[in-house]
């Protein structure tokens, strides 16, 4: 049975029209390599930006889509130790995971608990560490502190709510539509508000004028200014996304008179600077939480890899309550 890969040869504003499922011969693992059968791989906003050409790093064309996922070892190449056939593994980040079968160096694969949900494990590499690091790397937070975030109904937003609660932090969660409020509350958000010109007044009233020192922005545009207005003087806005498509806007008054700081976060930069021990510690903690069912994200739908065009189109649509994932079948 031939393998299938989701390949694209050009970038553009309608990525679902550019990517297609292509058959190819199943590769043989070489020395030190294993053959992995893909089980599940998500479609993240960064994947869509890569397809449109708007992401910070772009692969050479033609390329295979997908930056993270989970698979099962199906064949061992020569000189492989430490892995077994049937073992569930985390695929290397950025390897083109929208592919039914791929070879990878055994040393680059992270063994995963076999009893854990592979769909949840497939979303491990990008969104959970982003949420965890946004809470730990930007501002020194103490239990009882408030944190405010927009795009709270996104996957990162949901993970952040769960991780913040575990650390004793309270969250103000901002969404762009009233229909998203219930889902964020269900995930444990302490306070859920719909974004608008009066956001700072809403936050001050609902939190008793709490001194919020960290705002997490995935939207950009005017939303960045509204988050800044919710912070105490000297607070920090950290941006990690551009859902609005507009540059972050923060007024000179916020920067000059209130001492607000605007900074950015990119997971790839953290990986480049973090030690192997730091990375192992982060992922070990997150894997344990996911395997124990203490950390999860809602899934809107799964699509077989052969229907990648329809899956990318679905992932491009707004008003979803959960992630779109690709599966081998």
Q: What is the pLDDT of residues 66-125, one digit of tens each?
A: 999 999 999 999 988 889 999 999 998 888 999 999 999 998 898 898 888 999 999 999
Classify 301 in phi/psi space as left (phi over 0), alpha (psi -120 to 50) or beta: beta
Residue 238 has pLDDT above 70, yes or no: yes
- Structure-model confidence comparison of residues 92 and 161, the more confident one: 161
Please tell me the CATH superfamily of domain 129-268, with its number: NAD(P)-binding Rossmann-like Domain (3.40.50.720)
List the structure tokens of 66.
């997908």
The confidence score (pLDDT) of residue 1 equals 62
The CATH class, in words, for 3-123+297-327 is: alpha beta
Spans of all domains in the chain: 3-123+297-327, 129-268
Would you place residue 289 in the very low, low, confident or very high pLDDT band (cuts 50, 70, 90)? very high
Using a 10 angstrom Cβ sphere, with 0-12 exposed, 13-18 middle and 19 or more buried, the burial of residue 143 is exposed
Mean pLDDT of 281-292: 93
Cβ proximity of 186 and 166 under 8 Å: no
Which is catalytic among the residues 8, 55, 159, 240?
A: 55
The confidence score (pLDDT) of residue 245 equals 85
Asked if 3-123+297-327 and 129-268 have one fold, the answer is no
DSSP character string of 158-220: HHHHHHHHHTT-EEEEEESSGGGHHHHHHTT-SEEEE-STTHHHHHHHHHTS----EEEESS-
Would you place residue 225 in the very low, low, confident or very high pLDDT band (cuts 50, 70, 90)? very high
Cα–Cα distance measured from residue 140 to residue 294, given in angstroms and rounded to the nearest whole number = 24
Helix (H, G, I), strand (E, B) or coil at 312: helix
Whether this prediction's pTM lies above 0.85 is answered by yes
List the structure tokens of 182.
């219930």
The confidence score (pLDDT) of residue 134 equals 98
Would you place residue 317 in the very low, low, confident or very high pLDDT band (cuts 50, 70, 90)? confident
Pairing of strands 261-264, 236-239: parallel
Indicate if 55 belongs to the active site: yes
């Amino acid at each position: 049975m031939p393998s299938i890969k989701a390949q694209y040869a050009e970038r553009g504003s309608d990525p679902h029209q550019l990517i297609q499922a292509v058959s190819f011969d199943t590769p043989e693992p070489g020395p030190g390599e294993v053959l992995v059968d893909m089980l599940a791989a998500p479609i993240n906003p960064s994947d869509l930006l890569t397809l449109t050409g708007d992401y910070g790093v772009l692969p050479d064309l033609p390329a295979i889509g997908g930056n993270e996922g989970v698979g099962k070892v199906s064949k061992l190449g020569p000189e492989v130790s430490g892995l077994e056939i049937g073992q569930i593994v985390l695929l290397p980040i950025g390897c083109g995971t929208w592919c039914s079968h791929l070879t990878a160096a055994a040393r680059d694969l992270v063994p995963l608990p076999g009893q854990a949900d592979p769909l949840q494990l497939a979303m491990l590499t990008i969104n959970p560490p982003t949420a965890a690091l946004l809470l730990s790397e930007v501002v020194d937070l103490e239990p009882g502190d408030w944190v405010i975030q927009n795009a709270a109904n996104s996957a990162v937003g949901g993970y952040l709510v769960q991780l913040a609660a575990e650390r004793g932090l309270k969250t103000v969660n901002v969404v762009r539509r009233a229909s998203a409020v219930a889902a964020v509350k269900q995930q444990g958000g302490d306070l859920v508000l719909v974004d608008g010109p009066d956001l700072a007044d809403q936050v001050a009233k609902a939190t008793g004028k709490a001194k919020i020192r960290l705002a997490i922005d995935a939207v950009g545009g005017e939303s960045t200014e509204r988050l800044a207005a919710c912070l105490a003087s000297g607070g920090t806005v950290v941006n990690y996304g551009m859902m609005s498509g507009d540059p972050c806007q923060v007024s000179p008054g916020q920067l000059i008179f209130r001492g607000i700081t605007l900074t950015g976060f990119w997971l790839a930069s953290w990986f480049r600077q973090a030690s192997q021990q730091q990375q192992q510690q982060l992922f070990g903690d997150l894997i344990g939480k996911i395997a124990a069912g203490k950390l999860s994200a809602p899934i809107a739908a799964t699509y077989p890899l052969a229907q990648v065009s329809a899956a990318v189109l679905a992932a491009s649509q707004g008003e979803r309550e959960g992630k779109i994932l690709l599966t081998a079948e």
